[in-house]
Each structure stands twice: as structure tokens, then as C-alpha cells.
Structure 1
């Protein structure tokens, strides 16, 4: 998958500090338990305010207990953090990179306190969610606002001058799409030889309430008027890109594919995006499909929802059906994704300086907005302050 070249003209125009005005990068993620004793407290953090009984949390926690009570996400974030730091250093960019989580240590508020105490004032945030939706974008912005307001209320040094921005959603950046194409091809190669030519691609992502999906994206985004809003439109755009990349590489022009969903957690009476991946596997088997590759385009790393919902539940369903199935890797710390993060940082910095950098994006939807407008990806109920957007006042 091609990437935009760094031309001599672009390099000559770069300032002495190409990431200015930013002086720190924040990796912002979901977080996860790192031992059995962490599981229920972690789930209490995730579900706070929803009135879910502790007994139910213990039941949900069995997913984590199957893996020793440890979510893989924190270790994956440590690797990504190291990879980003190494990539920046190799390029001669002395940009400090920090890491904070929404729901477990290192907590976002503590990380921002550390950033402010170190003297940084302009922070650019990379969220480990590539798409537009309340839970994947605006909720992270709300968490940033909560942390900033808390630090200001406690009088933390530098908190009043701390400004936080967020990188645009990057689902269609070459650094994200290219690794997904190669991962799908690698998984396809693990299927029995006789199943490969006719194998279907099942692109998986997190199911969300249909009402949340329909309102995803900016108010003036044409995709928001479609069923599923920007959330579904963005996933379909990536799925088409990856399916085409697989078709080009394998010579199978008509490679059937579908966007399917996983990890539903809501009440049964509330409509969520469908079909569920396990239901989809049953439908493929009923059609006589010889094999399937599950491609988790909705996720950045192989965290618990990938390891359990796909590698455990969906894999068990495929085995029960006798349907040959493979699961493609997520982008993780692929060097193209890590380099893509760097390019996104430099792109946003140049924009902040009033320049007009090339904004790389594949597919039909083009690059997303840098600054989320008012009303972007709203919550289903209520309204809370959200930083890093047009409706936030520093």
C-alpha cells in the first residue's frame, strides 16, 4: 500500500522543530486489568454510573480470568509506546511521548499531571481508536476534559496553561490500511489450500447501539445522514480497500466480504449493529462457503475483545460448524502504522502553524477533520464537556 513520499521541497520548508507548536505526545487508551485482583475494580471503572451489580461484573470478569486476570492491552500499549519513541528518535525528533488510560493505571489524570509538571503545555493526543463514534472519539475527549478540569480544580502546577489537541481519526491512513491488507493475506494463507480461493472475508468491529452509530461523525458529514452514520461508512470504506488489496494480491477478482460486528454488551431490547460475527459464521456455513478470514479492522491491537470474542468464541463456533477459519492480526506495532503516527503528528503540527501539508487518506471519504465540531459524535443521553474540539474553551 503506497505511502506519501517526503519530498525535498517539503523537507526544506520544515521548521527547526517540525512538531512545533506541540511539545508532548500522549498515547491515550482504554486500559485493562493486570492481575485477578484488578478485574472487578477495573470493570467497576468501565461501568461506573450504570448501576450494574457487582455479581454481574464478576460474571463478565470470567473473560479476563480465562487469561489469568490480565488484559493484553496494557502490554500492547507499552510496546506501541516504545515503538513510537524509537521511531521518533530515529527521525531525530525529540518529542516526549507519554501514556495514559481511561479506566486503569496509568490513569489519564495522573499522566496529564506528570506532563504539566514537566513543563509541557501543548499536548497532541493519539487515541487507540481509529474511527468516529461516541465511544471511540468523543468519550476520549470527555475524559480529557474531566482530567483537565480536575487538575485545574486542585491547582496542579501548569494545569491552567495546558492545552490538549487530538489527532484526526486515522482509519483510512495508509499506515493503518496497508498492514491490514498484509494481515488478511497472511491469515488467508493459513487456511487449507482448497479453501483459499473461495474464502470469504468477514471484517469485524465493535458493535454499538444503532442510535449511537446513526449520530456518529460531524453534523455536516454526508455520511451521518446514512444508516450507521460515519461509523459504518468509515468501516465500509476500509473494508473495500482491504478487500481490493487482497483481491489484487491473490488474483481472485470477486472476493466476497461483509462487515460484521462483535462484543455487544447492551440490554437485549436496545438495537445494536448486526450481524454478530458468530451468526455470520453460521450463515456462511449454511451457504457452503469453504472458509473465512476474520479481519478485525475495528481494532488497533489484539486486546481482550479480539482474544476472547474472536480467538475464543468465534473460533469455537467455526470449529463447531466445521468451517475453516483464520483471524488476521491487528496493526499493533507494525512499522508502517508507527511511521503513520509520526506523519499524522507532523501533519497536524504543520496545520497548527498555518501551513497546508498533504493529508494522506485512502478510499472515498478523504481525511477527517482535525478539530471536532460542536455536535460531533454526541452521547445518547446528556451532554458533558469535551476537550480537543470546537466547543471546548481552554
Structure 2
């Protein structure tokens, strides 16, 4: 299929204090989340002036992608649409239609399989196309990229940089802790051919980053940003609980690498740079948080390479062994029981 555009697909975030509550209501619409819970989460955004960094990070990434495309002779115009805040994907699709776009490739800012990280973007695309109606372009999402060198490499570099901040005399008692967004266990373990791929892919990424960045350290994969009612089981352990366990095992320092994310958006800044950092300080643990790819040249080049897989039959660039595919099956990654906001 020929493609005549590229569209960046992301979560979206508020850019003014007045945006915070409307944004959170968009995120939680239909979930029955109490108002007091929304107000609690809103405080995380107000802590940063009511502005989530994710939209500016998307602008920066889009600019880098456009420059990279231009430098390598890829003539696809690049658009951007969000799930929960302006620019909303439906508005972007309408603009694409008005610009004469017929078929586009979509890149979601999530490397992994799972409902909110993958399938929900397919649903977002379908809803936006239906909303726009006749003339709306067809949009096909690019594949997951958890083991692509352009995603793994920047995390490797970030961990290596973080390790330089720790006294070499304490490396023997330093732990490498990888984090990702927790999800309900029923969603993580759903039956069928795709069951368990979220955790499997994350474990593969963690193993790849560890082997290349700091093979001398022990490592763990833990979870952050849990939401939803307490009676619903989610993936554990939480990063804060795990830090308490490590402190009892004579660990002196931790490097926290958020491999579940492509940028330092609000969940990384709040959950890791505030809550987890405070927990570590209370425990007397040295704490260094590794960075995320954001606009690392290798990550930007990866996006181009994913596009060329579809448009020029370029070979897949992969470091892992788990299966990957371009089109998700209709029964892939069912939606979870709805809980609280992210």
C-alpha cells in the first residue's frame, strides 16, 4: 500500500492549569472515577504549574522526525494527534483529509504491546476516522519497537551515564531497577495468542539494556503509576515498595531506568523524580534516575527505519527474539476493567 503521510500518535496532556481537570475527565470518561480522586491526581499536575511536558516533547520529536525525513529523502508530511488533549486525533485526521492525505502511517509513543500502549491506539484511529467520515484517510499503525536498537540504545546510554554518578566503590552494592507502567493483572495475563506479551517484552528490553549497559549489576523489573480501586490486582511490586525491600538487603544505591517510557513525561517526573526519590532518601539509598530516549538521534532514526520497513521493504532491525507483527488481531489485548486515572 502506498502511504502519503506520517502521523505521531500520543496520549496528550494539559498545558495550562485550567486544562487539568478537563483533561483528567477526558482520560477517565465512562470509568466512574470519583471527583475526589481526580482532584488528588490534579495536584500532581499543579505541582508542575498545571503543565504536562508531554505535548512539548511531542512537538520536539515531530520537529526532529521532519528534519530526519528531509535529510534522508522521505517526503511524507508529518502530523500529530493525541488521545486525550489538543491536538485531538480526530481534528488531525480532518486536517489530513483536507490536505488530500489518503493513507498514512501512525507511530505511537509506546514501545510495547498491551491495551493502552497499543490496541487503544488502533481504537483511537478507528474512532477518529469514523468521526471525520467520508474522505478520511486510512491510518495504519507502525509495529511495536521494544527491542529495536534505536529504542534500546538510548536507554543503554542513559544507564551508563547514571552509573558514572555513583562512586565506583559502591558499584558492588548498586542495583539497577527498571520501571514501567503497572496494569491490571487480568490484562497482563489475558488468554489467547498475545497473552502476557506486555511483561514479556518489558523483561526482554530490561535484559537487553542490562547486558549492554551494566552487566556487573543485579537488576529487577518493577512497576509504577498504578491506578484503579485497591481491590483490583495490578502488577507488583511498586517501585516504592521495592526500594524498601532493597534497603533491607544492604543495597546502597539504585539506578532507576524507566524503560516503559519514551520521554520524561509527568508520570516519570512525579512517580520517580518525586515519590520514589523521596522514598529512597528516607531509606538512605543513593538514587539516580536514568533518562529516556525523547529526541535521541538513534530514536529518531528508528522511526525512519520503521517507516522504511513499510514503504521500502527495509529489513527489521531487532535485538530480541519475541514475535512481532504489523497488524494486531481482533481479539488482541482486550480492554481492562476500568479504574482510576493514569
Q: Does 1:362 align with 2:305?
A: no
Take 2:155 and 2:116, find their aligned partners in 1: how far apart are those partners? 22
Take 2:10 and 2:145, find their aligned partners in 1: how far apart are those partners? 15
| Alignment counterpart, residue 206 of structure 2, candidates 230, 239, 242 | 239
Q: How many residues align?
A: 338
| Alignment counterpart, residue 92 of structure 1, candidates 56, 69, 73 | 73
Task: State the match for 1:63 in structure 2.
Answer: 44
Task: State the match for 1:212 in structure 2.
Answer: 187
Task: State the match for 1:163 in structure 2.
Answer: 138
Larger radius of gyration: 1
Take 2:44 and 2:108, find their aligned partners in 1: how far apart are those partners? 24
Q: Provide structure 1 residue ranges, at least 5 long, that are not aligned to the other structure.
A: 1-19, 352-356, 383-394
TM-score (norm 2): 0.96
Task: State the match for 2:121 in structure 1.
Answer: 140
Take 1:81 and 1:64, find their aligned partners in 2: how far apart are those partners? 24
SS, match of residue 124 in structure 1: strand
Instruction: Tell me if structure 2 keeps the 8 A contact 1:87–1:338.
Output: yes
For residues 64-79 of structure 1, what are the structure 2 equivalents within 5 Å?
64-79=45-60
TM-score (norm 1): 0.83
Q: CA shift at 1:53, angstroms? A: 2.9
| Alignment counterpart, residue 325 of structure 1, candidates 287, 290, 303 | 287
Task: State the match for 2:235 in structure 1.
Answer: 273
Q: CA shift at 1:196, angstroms? A: 2.6
Q: CA shift at 1:350, angstroms? A: 3.2
Q: CA shift at 1:197, angstroms? A: 3.6
Task: State the match for 1:175 in structure 2.
Answer: 150
Instruction: Tell me if structure 1 keeps the 8 A contact 2:81–2:87.
Output: yes
Task: State the match for 2:162 in structure 1.
Answer: 187
Runs of 4+ in 1 over 3 A off after TM superposition: none
Task: State the match for 1:48 in structure 2.
Answer: 29
Q: Does 1:21 align with 2:2?
A: yes
Q: Provide structure 2 residue ranges, at least 5 long, that are not aligned to the other structure.
A: none
Take 2:24 and 2:282, find their aligned partners in 1: how far apart are those partners? 30
Q: Root-mean-square deviation (CA), in Å?
A: 1.5
Task: State the match for 1:149 in structure 2.
Answer: 130
Q: Does 1:314 align with 2:276?
A: yes
Instruction: Tell me if structure 2 keeps the 8 A contact 1:348–1:370.
Output: no
